Amino acid sequence: MDNAKLVLNGKEYQLPVTVGTEGEVGIDITALRSKTGAITLDSGYGNTGSCESSITFIDGERGILQYRGYPIEELAAKSSFLEVSFLLIFGHLPTREELDKFTFDLTHHSLLREDMKKFYEGYPPTAHPMGVLCSMVVSLSAYYPDTQEERYNNIIRLLAKLKTIAAFSYKKSIGQPYVYPRNNMSFAADLLHMMFAVPAEDYEVHQEVADALDLLLILHADHEQNCSTSTVRMVGSSEANMFATIASGICALWGKLHGGANQHVIEMLQRIQNEGGDYRKFIDMAKDKNSSFKLMGFGHRVYKNFDPRAKILKEAADKVLNKLGIKDPLLEIAKNLERVALEDSYFIERKLYPNVDFYSGIIYRAMGIPTEMFTVMFALGRLPGWIAQWKEMREDPAMRIYRPRQIYTGCTERSYIPIDERRTVEVK
């Protein structure tokens, strides 16, 4: 493809063009500032490619999501979360031997150091599990040095231990004794067992519930350069250790415009139910520019047609609830909201569709997972994606520290004012 031409102050500059394997076009501005003195301005990075990556492909216009070239629909139907984790991190679907080794390694690294349990004691039971999750992950750096030789082991440790950390933070919040990981259970079943089993009582994990959790984890596993993944790359680019780097991604995910939306969707649906079920009133509120209310679980920076994950999850929600014999009025409210919104010109014109968080909460609820743990579940799913993106960046010989620029809009140079000569300025 031809170079792009930029004319600035009457002078013409050639900018090289990069084309990805799926035809995406990027104008390479790496040398823009040194050649022209100018930078690009792209608030929210909606048009900025921060890296080249061979992990995940999204076509938001056509509702396509692929991990390493495999369509999400196929992976959701045929694969498992551990297989997908291996695929994302190591770049190919594992052979049986590779998957057996990966599974063995993961099951044999899932215990936490006993003294890490003391960290939980310091938190009040009301602590949000995302805060606990993040600090436990960064604490792992105190135990496991981040060296090149330990890279594989540390990846395994983090993948294996995050589910134990997550389950322990739930047990802490309800004041129950911790249940230790089991090596004879699948990843999803072990997580459910650690969360819901009570010592001295029998607890059997429903296969349907474990399968549904595995599906949710697959659907969340990666999503190219979203807010938390970009945070991971940003922090990782300073060569901070892997545990600190991933902890930063957990913090970014927590926000309600990102992974925290799944908790807020259920809170919104509950509010609609508590206020009499008039979902149209909430649609009107979401459209009202004088209200800060947004339809949680709706809209996406990249998907402008449909979110393929939401499509899979809508069907899965019906299936799981039927299998478990659960009738959740919130599912009906969610479907009504979706139907009305998709016929409304406000949502049509802005291309706003349900995203992955819209139906995931309904399934988590059916599994008995409390609302505050929803974003933790998302973090567990997203972990292999964060690791894959971090590893890809660290293995790239051209990696540079992430350091964007800005257009300064503050005061121009002025002289220091002695304290007694200053006027009171209203503080906002």
CB closer to ligand ACO out of 35 and 258 = 258
C-beta of 166 vs 286, nearer to ligand ACO: 286
DSSP state of 127: S
Cα(186)–Cα(375) distance, rounded to whole angstroms? 21
Name the active-site residue from 190, 211, 307, 357: 357
Q: Kindly tell me which of 182 and 294 has the beta carbon lying closer to ligand ACO.
A: 294
Select from 163, 164, 171, 151 the least CA-distant residue to 243. 151
DSSP string, 170-204: HHHHHTPPP----TTS-HHHHHHHHHH--TTS---
Minimum distance from CB of 236 to ligand ACO (Å)? 20
Nearer to ligand ACO, 206 or 304 (CB): 304
Task: List residues binding ligand ACO (CB under 6 A).
Answer: 44, 257-259, 261, 286, 294-301, 350, 352, 355-357
Q: What is the CA radius of gyration of the chain?
A: 24
Question: Least distance from C-beta 143 to ligand ACO, angstroms?
Answer: 30
- Burial level of 82, CB count in 10 A (0-12/13-18/19+)? buried
Give me the least distance between CB of 324 and ligand ACO, in Å please.
Answer: 25
Q: Is the Cβ–Cβ distance between 193 and 179 less than 8 Å?
A: yes
Catalytic residue among 190, 264, 300, 307: 300
For 304-340, give one letter per residue: b (16+ CB within 10 A) or e: bebbbbbbbbbebbeebbeebeeebebbebbbebbee
Query: Closest residue to ligand ACO, Cβ-based?
Result: 299
Query: Where do the DSSP E strands lie in 132-260?
Result: none
**Residue 146 or 224 with smaller CB distance to ligand ACO:** 224
300 is catalytic: yes
Cβ 252 to ligand ACO shortest distance, Å: 10
| Closest approach of ligand ACO to the CB of residue 26, in Å | 19
Judge whether 357 counts as a catalytic residue: yes
Q: Name the residues annotated as catalytic.
A: 300, 357
